[in-house]
Amino acid sequence: MSSQKRAISMAPMMDCTDRHDRFFLRLISKNIFLYSEMIATGAILNGDRKKILEYSEFEKPVALQLGGSNSKELSECCKIVDDYGYDEINLNLGCPSKKVQKNKFGACLMQEPDLVAKCIEAMAKATKLPVTIKTRIGYNDVENFEFLKSFVQTTKDAGSQKFIIHARKALLKKLSPKENLNIPPLKYEFVYKLKEHFKNDEIIINGGIKITEDIKNHLLKVDGVMIGRAIYHSPYFLADIERDIFNNENVPTRSDVMEKLIPYIQEETSKGVQLNHIMRHTVGLFHGQNGSRTWKQYLSKNMCIRDADLQKVNHIMDQVRKTNPVSLER
């Protein structure tokens, strides 16, 4: 259904999709649309704003996801974010964690559609950027299409311009965040039906999507596909997406990716960034390849620690080449 280059996006993931991860992923895919991890409004308003919001132009297009429920704070954050050149501001209405609920962020806000509308309206008035939402199909015992349709309509009327739907409900009290990613059953048909109702609006599907064939099937029925864990745990899945979805055969090898990452590592570590903050995102680069175990074990023992240094990056590349040189070239 969608021919847009933003048809495939990387899901915002807490403690995962920081600026280092986004730079790394962009080395593999030139077409995927990237999202920040969720940033709480209080962090922007009271924390080190520059450190939190700065990113490399190389990452673009990239969206910032906000967490919050205070319309004034969200509005102020949108005004601030405007100056940083992001391509979109997304409101998190889907995270089910207890910590997030305690701060009145995420999926618990589905219980208060009027409050959500007030927040989105304030955000849309404060920024020139598109304001969008990421949410679920329902929560607790509320799991019916009429609720989802009404909730999306409420956010649309308030100013949301895109609707990213995780095709599971959120169980706010019974399950952990990890369990909420697996136990509630996927109901893609809710999202398909939503697109049938909102024909002229951008509907993105999310949840449990692991292979390019599934992506192709979803794109026949919705405008885009958002993927999280399947990419984070196996980043070179993006190479398949580039070839099979975007018809791009000019995809870098794993070796190319690491060689291009090294100058970034040099620059960032010269500024005081710890190497493990970057290299932890590369653990799954050789997933499914001979040499993958060598890569993961070496990273775990040597580079996902505080005192890791750049020389160890070159060493592990040599070790993987010896184990399976072919794995670096595909």
pLDDT at 6: 62
Catalytic residue list contains 95:
yes
Range of the domain at 181: 5-244
Where residue 325 falls among pLDDT bands split at 50, 70, 90?
Answer: very low
pLDDT at 292: 82
The domain boundary, picked from 182, 215, 244, lies at: 244
Where residue 278 falls among pLDDT bands split at 50, 70, 90?
Answer: very high
pLDDT at 260: 92
pLDDT digits (tens, 9 = 90+) for 79-88: 999 999 999 9
State the chain's mean pLDDT as an integer. Answer: 91
pLDDT digits (tens, 9 = 90+) for 107-116: 999 999 999 9
Kindly state whether residue 249 falls inside one of the protein's structural domains: no
Looking at the fold, whether 298 and 220 belong to one and the same domain comes out as no
The domain boundary, picked from 244, 266, 282, lies at: 244
Kindly state whether residue 93 falls inside one of the protein's structural domains: yes
Kindly state whether residue 212 falls inside one of the protein's structural domains: yes
pTM for the model stands at 0.93
Looking at the fold, whether 192 and 312 belong to one and the same domain comes out as no
* CATH code of the domain containing 132: 3.20.20.70
Looking at the fold, whether 238 and 212 belong to one and the same domain comes out as yes
pLDDT digits (tens, 9 = 90+) for 91-110: 999 998 888 888 899 999 99
pLDDT at 97: 83
Buried b vs exposed e over 133-159: b needs ≥16 C-beta within 10 Å? bbbbbbbbeebeeebbeebbeebbebb
Looking at the fold, whether 90 and 211 belong to one and the same domain comes out as yes
* CATH code of the domain containing 265: 1.20.120.1460
Looking at the fold, whether 209 and 292 belong to one and the same domain comes out as no
Instruction: Look at the chain and report how many structural domains it folds into.
Output: 2
Looking at the fold, whether 235 and 267 belong to one and the same domain comes out as no
Looking at the fold, whether 270 and 199 belong to one and the same domain comes out as no
- Name the least confident of 155-169, 183-197, 294-308: 294-308
Among residues 16, 77, 78, 95, the one annotated as catalytic is 95
Looking at the fold, whether 240 and 266 belong to one and the same domain comes out as no
Kindly state whether residue 258 falls inside one of the protein's structural domains: yes
Looking at the fold, whether 190 and 83 belong to one and the same domain comes out as yes
Looking at the fold, whether 146 and 295 belong to one and the same domain comes out as no
Alpha helix ranges (H) inside the chain: 19-28, 41-46, 49-53, 71-82, 98-102, 113-126, 145-158, 177-180, 188-197, 212-219, 229-232, 237-244, 254-270, 275-279, 292-298, 311-323
Residue 255 corresponds to which tokens in the numbers above? Answer: 């070796």
